[in-house]
Chains A and B, each alone.
Chain A
Amino acid sequence: MNSTTFKRFLTTNLNVNENEVVAILDNCTTKTVKKDTFLLRKDERCKHTFFVEKGLLRQYSIDTKGKEHVIAFAPENWFVTDRESSYFNEPSVYYIQTLEDSEVVLMDENFIQLLSKKVPSFTDFNTRLLHNHIRHLQKRVNWLLSASAEERYLQFVEMYPDILLRVPQTMVASYLGITPESLSRVRKALAQKNFKK
């Protein structure tokens, strides 16, 4: 299996060496998936946590009027999963889809258990990841409720520096909870302030 990024991610963050990582990785699979492939659909049970080796994924929902709402983008080095479904075993309300040709590591619950047993430092690390995820979601709820379009945009580009160049503007607007027109206005205003011919 050729999951170089994931290998590097594990050796950097856990107290394990390359050989141990190789043994661990035998227990999960890496998939090469074409652009626009669904890794999860609404009403399915989410069985995996996805780690993005290469490419780009998005998690989104579709409301009763048929409008899409982007919950998260997951570029290289990011994890994405539906925790409501994978941990609480509820049917998913989300879709997870590739936006580019991607390479994705699929981790199931057994793999997480195995990792916890074999690598003692993993539990602490996983807790930290979880807290980090909660912090991220909490911040996101807060700015969706209180921040201006420009503030949302600036936080977005800080977190996802290259996404603006990889997805249609409508998806970015959807993630920010603003209209595409509003996103254009924000970007135009920033250019007027910062662009020197």
Chain B
Amino acid sequence: MKTRTVELVARPREPHFVGDGFRVHNFIPSGFRLEMERMNPFIMMDYNSKFHFSATDNPRGVDVHPHRGFETVTIAYKGKVAHHDSSGGGGVIGEGDVQWMTAAIGVLHKEYHEEEWAKTGGDFQMVQLWVNLPKKDKMSTPKYQAIKKEDLSRYELSDNSGEVEVIAGEYKGVKGAATTFTRINMLNARLKKGGKADFSFPKNYNTVVLVIEGSITVNGNDNVPTDHLVLMANDGENFTVEASEDALVLVLSGEPLNEPIAAHGPFVMNTKEELMKAFQDFNNGKFGYLEN
């Protein structure tokens, strides 16, 4: 087993608004060396770093939009989001919860700050990921996995130095609640100052670490401040994360999908023809209808 080294540390790009409810830094796919092909199956990562939204009676959010060909994963660190879709589905993602939505053949939905939360406003901090689906599953039936904070399994690190929360995949034998189509590990490591966690994933798995809170050192020599993303090289399996101060980091590692990517707007397919079909289906109402 070899050490997996740091390929690069990406600073957060200029934030932009998605709708009026999400102020995000896009890391994947617009960041330097963070293209879809390199990061597959993590084909999009928008990070809403901690941002204060003022109180309002008109919840901010993103209007109706479709998705096809992948899964969206929303990890709520602070704040609350409500969502509704054209099949009548909906729910609330609260602090610490994870929503894993398999859009697959198509979901038309909208996402807003939860009404009561919006009335008081507050700090909002979330990660939204798009997880690519293999060709054979791109047109499967949509589904949701609403994973509550209390249902996330945890691994206690030794010496009371922190814990690793497992969203998907596993960490030292502790398995995550989310089911996935390909092999994916998605972990939240909460480390106290000086706390250390070691990770080991197959060499070919594409791997990143996002610092949500605090600051860390990777492999004992690369310092990474808050809101920065570490891209790990595919040159080994093992790496360590040590907290320079109390820290929370999101660790993603997934088996790459070696299939062509054709992406445009909210659709990620394998061919241009499939993309055109996605637009046609959306325009012709095949994703259903939902009022803004």
Contacts and interface: CB of A to CB of B under 8 A. Distances in A.
> Do A and B actually bind?
yes
Interface of A: 157, 161-162, 164-166, 169, 184, 187-197
Contacts of A194: 284-286
Interface residues of B, number: 20
B87 interface: yes
B15 to A, nearest CB: 15
B84 to A, nearest CB: 15
B283 interface: yes
Interface string B63-89: 001100000000000000000001100
13 contacts: A161-B280, A164-B282, A165-B265, A165-B282, A166-B265, A187-B285, A187-B289, A190-B285, A191-B86, A193-B285, A194-B284, A195-B86, A195-B285
B65 A192 contact: no
Interface in B270-292: 276, 279-280, 282-289, 291-292
B265 A195 contact: no
Contacts, number: 51
Nearest to A153: B283
The B interface is mostly helix, strand or loop, or mixed, namely: loop
B52 interface: no
Given A165-B265, A166-B265, A195 B280 contact: no
B283 A191 contact: no
Contacts of A193: 285
A192 B287 CA distance: 10
A195 B264 contact: no
B90 interface: no
A152 to B, nearest CB: 13
Contacts of B66: 165
Given A195-B86, A195-B288, 7 more contacts: A162-B264, A162-B265, A187-B285, A191-B286, A191-B288, A192-B289, A197-B87
B94 to A, nearest CB: 27
Given A157-B283, A190-B284, A194-B284, A165 B289 contact: no
